[in-house]
Amino acid sequence: NAGVTQTPKFQVLKTGQSMTLQCAQDMNHEYMSWYRQDPGMGLRLIHYSVGAGITDQGEVPNGYNVSRSTTEDFPLRLLSAAPSQTSVYFCASSLSGGGTDTQYFGPGTRLTVL
Amino acid sequence: AQSVTQPDIHITVSEGASLELRCNYSYGATPYLFWYVQSPGQGLQLLLKYFSGDTLVQGIKGFEAEFKRSQSSFNLRKPSVHWSDAAEYFCAVAPNSGYSTLTFGKGTMLLVSP
């Protein structure tokens, strides 16, 4: 198993540009989520999904869109990037999303918005 | 709302010395508790977790943590630190019902001196 994979590893955008951060898992996990990590802030939940076609907002959803058309993939879209979205983004997945499940994290995408 | 406090931003420990990283949480009921480690440029790896039962939990890499309900704490310990333990450590909580939406502390950076 490759586990949780994220692409790209690094990305530089200009303000106002759009892009999609890709996340995929091959563990047949129902639950997937996106976090952003900022210096001195820990990780904060952006959006999560409990299965194909079902998504919900986390703590910091503004400026981000998600959809989940397959079990394997959970892309994160920035429609109009802003410098405040400069961050490291982590995708995570777990079997069912229950509190006792282990969440597996991807290696992250480092995004810079100029 | 739930919150997690890691009062130490940085800690320096000599190799071979013992380690304790502090974590306090605020939550209406006893949440599920986790410690993750992040090596530079890497994703997060789960060290250990507490759901219920024995308040002293063992994890990987020789780490343990003790849950103290009266103090709302979940401190991480290791009897003898190795240079390879240098990393950032995150305490996290998740609700004990519903989906596992993790709330992270801001992290503690561990430096290991020779």
Mean pLDDT by 10 residues, chain A (114 residues): 91 97 96 94 93 94 96 96 96 87 92 97
Mean pLDDT, residues B5-31:
93
Which pLDDT value is given to residue A39?
Answer: 86
- Contact B43/A105, CB-based, under 8 Å? yes
Q: How many Cβ pairs within 8 Å bridge chains A and B?
A: 67
- Whether residue B109 is predicted with pLDDT greater than 80 in this model: the reply is yes
Which pLDDT value is given to residue B100?
Answer: 76
Find the radius of gyration of the CA atoms of chain A.
Answer: 13
- Whether residue B65 is predicted with pLDDT greater than 80 in this model: the reply is yes
- Whether residue B66 is predicted with pLDDT greater than 90 in this model: the reply is yes
pLDDT above 90 as % of chain B: 77
Tokens at A91, concatenated: 């995708």
- Contact B46/A31, CB-based, under 8 Å? no
Query: Contact, A108 vs A7, CB < 8 A?
Result: no
Which pLDDT value is given to residue A88?
Answer: 95
Residue type, B37: V
pLDDT tens digits for range B40-55: 888 899 999 999 888 9
In order of A48, A88, B9, B80, the CA distances from B14 in angstroms are 40, 30, 17, 9
A16 touches chain B (CB under 8 A): no
Mean pLDDT, residues B11-20:
97
Which residues 60-89 of A have a C-beta within 8 angstroms of B?
none
Contacts of A21 in chain B (CB under 8 A): none
Which pLDDT value is given to residue A27?
Answer: 94
Strands (E), chain A: 4-7, 10-13, 19-25, 31-38, 42-51, 54-57, 64-66, 76-78, 87-94, 104-105, 109-113
- Contact B97/A99, CB-based, under 8 Å? yes
Query: Contact, B28 vs B43, CB < 8 A?
Result: no
Query: Nearest Cβ partner of B46 from A48, A100, A102?
Result: A102
Count the Cβ atoms, other than its own, within 10 Å of residue B105: 25
Backbone angles phi, psi at A87, to 5 degrees: -175, 175
d(CA B38, CA B40): 6
